[in-house]
Structures are given as structure tokens and as C-alpha cells.
Structure 1
Amino acid sequence: MKRLFVLCFVALVVGCAGNAQKNVKKEKKVYAVSKTNEEWKEILTPEQYYILRQAGTERPYSSILNKVYDDGTFHCAACDTPLYESKYKFDSGTGWPSFDRAVKGNIEKDVDYKIGYARVELKCGTCGGHLGHAFNDGPRETTGWRHCINGDALIFVPEKTK
């Protein structure tokens, strides 16, 4: 019995050590709009660079775009890709612009573990700029998703009046 216990213990340790410590390298994606860090610094404000290129987060309630509900589209501040239509914006009470869906095909989802657990990271599909995160606590009557986006990652383009 003792020998069976030792054999099982060794098999468990060897099995766990063989899989748990593998370093899986992620391939770096090439985006349609790619620039060096120096080029990004030239065209972005320091706040935009911090958020879009370094995956930073602005303080809640600091963005003027948090309360913008005019008709129009929110574009990526780095590459001008349309990301969110104002008709899908809602007040989540979190202090960041929130949307229940993005312009189809213009957002890329990734996983980030920066705060110790997995979160759905949202990036611009054209330049790879960090936008924010997605949470499943959005409006139940629509998609159920809340795209919590840094205002400094966006530029608002008003709809042209007819």
C-alpha cells in the first residue's frame, strides 16, 4: 500500500511539473497600422500613449467623453478606426465611457492577467491600441456586455447634420 501511495505521488508531481511550468510564447500580431514607439509618441498625447500603447487606465470620471451622448461615432485616437456608435453607449456608473457592443470587426479581444486574474481586454483591431476591458454586467435587455473604455483612447466624431 505504501509503495502504491509513493508511486501515485511521484506520478502526480511529474505530471504537474511537466505541464504547469511551460512558457507559451504568444506570437506578436502585425497590425494594418504599425508604428515605432517613437512614432506613436509623436502623434499621441502622453495620456493617449499611456493608455493605447502601454495598456494604462485613466482615472474614473476624468474623461469628457464619459457624458457625451450626441449622435456620432467614437473612433480610435491612434488610427481613426470607427469603434463604437453612440446609440450603443450607456451610463454604467463606473466613470468610464461604456458601450454594449462595438462596430463589427473593428475590435480585437484578448486576455490580460495584469491584476492577477483573467479579464477580456479590448484592443483596436487596426492598430492594436489598448482600449479597455469587457465585462458581462452590461444591460440585460441588449447584449449583456459592458465595454468599459478609456476616454483618452477615443475621439468622438459627430454625425453630420442633414
Structure 2
Amino acid sequence: MTRYNLIKGTAFSYTGWVPVPLEGRDPYVRSPVYRQIFAADVLGHHPEVQVYERPDLAWNISAYGIYESGALSKYVVVNYDEWNATTPYERPVQEVALAVPSWVDHVMVKRLTADGASADEGIQWAGQSWSNTDGRLVQSGREKSDCLHASNGMVELKLSSTEVMLVSLARRGQAVC
């Protein structure tokens, strides 16, 4: 990625934060900030990143292999099943099986979660959230991840509706979780 543009505007739905009081609310961070932080963690600092879609999953699940210098290093898994906190039933969870190279011993899973698809509050990336204090982004919470073991070239994941995962692969003996 060589360039990234941010569009400024106080009330636009794609604005990352509202820096001034608006419509009775104090300044606040909006969901696009979390998408931007997530994308930065997915792409990382590696100079040669490629992204390929995995076409073999359920209709409401998308997965993308993230390759660094031609080697699979991560997956991004998205559950497009829309759910909101006002939905009159418990949040559904789907099981997803991903193929991993034979050298993978375990994976580290970080989750982008919210109280639902239309949430503007209660959003977390890997257990952390951000707020707008004195015109600056302030991070709160401790980073959270899950460590799952791979077996026979597969890793089994549980993905809630309206949730996104970053699955980082680890070589045998490599400590990532």
C-alpha cells in the first residue's frame, strides 16, 4: 500500500471520529477507526504483502489468505451474518475450518467485535477500544488474543455473527501467543 486517504467530515457515516460535540453527544470514535487499525495490523510492515480470497467457505463467510514474500502468514475471516444487540435471539456462532501449512503448530486469533452490525459504541479490536479525549485518540483495555492449536493441517475456529478475525500462523516452536 503506497497511499491511504482519510475523508474528513463531522457527521458522515464513514468518518473515523467526531471530534466535537454533535447532536447531544460528546466527541466519540466511530467504527471506521477500528477498521483502519485492523487493516494496519493485517498488512503490517512487511514490504511484500499479497491478499488472496479463499472461495470454499459458507455463503456468509469470507476468508482471505495474507501472504508475506509469497508465504502464507495470516488469514482474515469475516462473518457477514448480520446481527444486532436488538436482534431477538442469541448471537449465532459458526464453525470455520481453515487449512494451514504443515509447519503451523498453533495460531493466534484476534477479534474485531461490536454489539452488532450497526454499532457505534462498544466496539473492540483484540480487547481494546479507543475514545476521543481532548481531541486525541485514547486507547483503553488490554490486548486480548486466543491461542488455538492446529492439527493435521487444519485449525478449527468459532466465529460469531458480525465478527471479524485475524488469524496469525506460528511455526513449531515459535511463541506468538
Specify which structure has the higher proportion of strand.
Answer: 2
Larger radius of gyration: 1
